[in-house]
Amino acid sequence: GNSVTQMEGPVTLSEEAFLTINCTYTATGYPSLFWYVQYPGEGLQLLLKATKADDKGSNKGFEATYRKETTSFHLEKGSVQVSDSAVYFCALRGGGSQGNLIFGKGTKLSVKP
């Protein structure tokens, strides 16, 4: 079945450091891929998405490229800020008729000033 695996956290970085959070997936067919972010005390917010191979999703300085050959969708940001501290979830939407999301376990990011 469909599944998502993302790197274990927590990840602690200094401000302006480079961020990579790895995400790989297993899916039949052609899934859509997403990164969601959860700030403390809040719900899940869509950060970016990609719907087909080689698409790059980007938002707020974050990027992720849909790599079908490596079944990956790694999240990157060139220079993190303290305000980026949150939990990041990789997710896929596969062949389900109503498009339910399958999430990874989440990676907690803490950025220190």
Partner 1 sequence: EPEVTQTPSHQVTQMGQEVILRCVPISNHLYFYWYRQILGQKVEFLVSFYNNEISEKSEIFDDQFSVERPDGSNFTLKIRSTKLEDSAMYFCASSEAPRSGAQHFGDGTRLSIL
Binding site for partner 1 (CB under 8 A): 32, 34, 36, 41-46, 49, 51, 89, 91, 93, 96-106
Least distance (Å) between residue 113 CB and partner 1: 27
Rank residues 70 and 98 by Cβ distance to partner 1 and give the closer one.
98
Residue 100 in contact with residue 2, Cβ under 8 Å? no
Rank residues 43 and 113 by Cβ distance to partner 1 and give the closer one.
43
Rank residues 25 and 34 by Cβ distance to partner 1 and give the closer one.
34
11-14 and 107-112: which strand pairing? parallel
CA nearest neighbour of 35 among 81, 66, 69, 78: 66
Query: For the range 66-71, what are the long-range contacts, defined as Cβ-Cβ under 8 Å and sequence gap of 24 or more?
Result: 66/33, 70/24, 71/24, 71/25, 71/26, 71/27
The partner residues of 109 in beta bridges, in order of sequence, read 11, 86
Rank residues 10 and 113 by Cβ distance to partner 1 and give the closer one.
10
Least distance (Å) between residue 93 CB and partner 1: 7
CA nearest neighbour of 37 among 104, 112, 99: 104
Least distance (Å) between residue 58 CB and partner 1: 15
Least distance (Å) between residue 78 CB and partner 1: 24
